[in-house]
């Protein structure tokens, strides 16, 4: 059975491309920026594109073809209130607080899997309390969680770009998300692993570890 995917805060489709390469059928993308929407429409002509996440419902995503029992939701939710370069309003900020819209859509769809991404500032925002809030909120929704900070420079990208990746799988088996994130940093080994696995679905989701933080 083909997995289905939805990307939230899609931008110009980074997660969408990754899901496609992993053999996942991307059903919908949520992105408010009109210019980014045009890029998405050109790159993914069959994609259902929604605007403001606050106006999107789980029912809409399911009606569009998303199968929660065999699906994944991805999202790099806004970082402006978490970044060390910003005012650090945290999860109460108007932008990074959109994390709660992700929680709402997880509630409404009961998606089997998710991958979230944000800046490392999430770990220290409000002296670490915001990261704790994120993890608790996701666990309270029935997900087993793993998280890890990864740097793009170790995966074939000529740029130092550290990001926190949070992986969740519905149920109480934390070993699944932990295994997804259990990859060795280093572009040579990573690229070799991609070739060996032929960009398998497990390789896609291995973007980011902690069962609480391994």
| Active-site annotation, residues | 79
Closest CA to 7 of 36, 160, 173, 141: 36
The strand pair at 143-151 and 4-8 is best described as unpaired
The 8-class DSSP code of residue 171 comes to S
CB atoms within 10 A of CB 119: 22
Tokens at residue 204, please?
């896609």
- Chain centroid offset of residue 134 CA: 13
Three-state SS at 43: helix
């Amino acid at each position: 059975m083909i997995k289905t995917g939805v990307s939230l805060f899609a931008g110009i489709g980074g997660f969408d491309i990754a899901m496609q390469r992993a053999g996942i059928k991307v059903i919908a993308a949520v992105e408010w920026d009109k210019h980014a929407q045009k890029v998405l429409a050109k790159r993914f002509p069959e994609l259902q594109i929604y605007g403001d996440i606050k106006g999107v419902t789980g029912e809409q995503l399911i009606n569009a073809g998303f199968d929660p029992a065999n699906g994944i939701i991805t999202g790099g939710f806004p970082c402006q209130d978490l970044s060390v370069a910003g005012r650090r309003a945290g999860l109460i900020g108007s932008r990074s607080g959109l994390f709660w819209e992700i929680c709402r859509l997880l509630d409404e769809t009961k998606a089997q899997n998710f991958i979230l991404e944000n800046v490392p500032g999430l770990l220290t925002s409000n002296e670490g309390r915001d990261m704790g809030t994120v993890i608790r909120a996701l666990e309270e929704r029935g997900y087993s969680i793993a998280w890890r900070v990864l740097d793009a420079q170790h995966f074939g990208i000529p740029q130092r770009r550290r990001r926190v990746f949070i992986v969740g799988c519905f149920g109480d088996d934390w070993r699944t998300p932990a295994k997804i994130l259990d990859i060795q940093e280093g572009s040579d080994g990573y690229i070799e692993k991609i070739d060996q696995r032929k960009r398998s679905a497990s390789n896609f989701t291995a973007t980011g570890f902690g069962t609480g933080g391994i």
